[in-house]
Amino acid sequence: MTQTSHTVLIVEDEPSLSEALKDKFTREGFHALVARNGEEGLKLAQEKIPSVILLDIVMPKMDGVTVFKKLQENQDTANIPVIFLTNLSNAEQVAEEIGTGNYQYLVKSDWDMKDVVGKVRATMHEKHGVAWTVEE
């Protein structure tokens, strides 16, 4: 398994959102992978070992919380930072559902694409020491 230091895995079942995120991250210099459901996302995470995972919570085949817990059980994927993309607006509810681990979250109604890229860049810098030149 090889790790590309600029790879983001987007696990999102809404095609328009996943394609918009993939397009934005690609234009920002990332290698972006997309999975349309939890099972596919888990498989891609285990095969590609991305630097960061953007993970929807409510998805078909396997929900994001289950994917996260399975990632935590595998030593190859347990340290991959996960940023949950959720419609849940209550942080306590998100934390209660997910439990402990290496994650953050963004409420879908509270961000735009620039916010997501900024969060991923900050996470990659913190976790992997990746420095970015931010162009405004």
Q: Which two tokens stand for residue 42?
A: 């888990």
Q: Where in the sequence is the domain holding 19, given as residue range(s)?
A: 7-128
Is 30 in contact with 41 (CB distance < 8 Å)? Answer: no
Residue ranges, the chain, pLDDT below 70: 1-5, 88-95, 97-102, 128-136
pLDDT at residue 129, rounded to an integer:
60
CA distance 64 to 114: 23
Q: What is the total count of domains within the chain?
A: 1
pLDDT at residue 134, rounded to an integer:
42
Residue 133 resides in a domain: no
Residues 104-129 pLDDT 10s: 777 777 778 888 888 888 887 777 66
Residue 84 resides in a domain: yes
DSSP label at residue 108: G
- For position 108, which CATH number holds? 3.40.50.2300
pLDDT at residue 30, rounded to an integer:
92
